Amino acid sequence: MTPQLSARNLIILSISYGLAVGAIAALNGPVTPVAVLGGLILGGLWAVRGVMGGGRDRS
């Protein structure tokens, strides 16, 4: 997977996660566990991408 494609995938995943948290909040659902778990997962994915990418795609 190219660095550009992985960045696009993570951005799409982040936007989808934000929409999901917003929908859960609008439906008066349990936002806190979803926000914490999703934040940890997305943060971990971004961190892994940063470590594995090694800054190759920065210009």
pTM of the model: 0.75
What is the rounded average pLDDT of the residues 23-46? 92
Instruction: For residues 50-56, give the mean pLDDT.
Output: 72
pLDDT at 31 over 80: yes
Q: How far is Cα 30 from Cα 27, in angstroms, rounded to an integer?
A: 9
Which residue ranges make up each domain of the chain? 3-53
Handedness of CA 51, 54, 56, 59 (dihedral sign): positive
- Tens of pLDDT, residue by residue over 1-10, are 787 888 899 9
CB 56 within 8 A of CB 3: yes
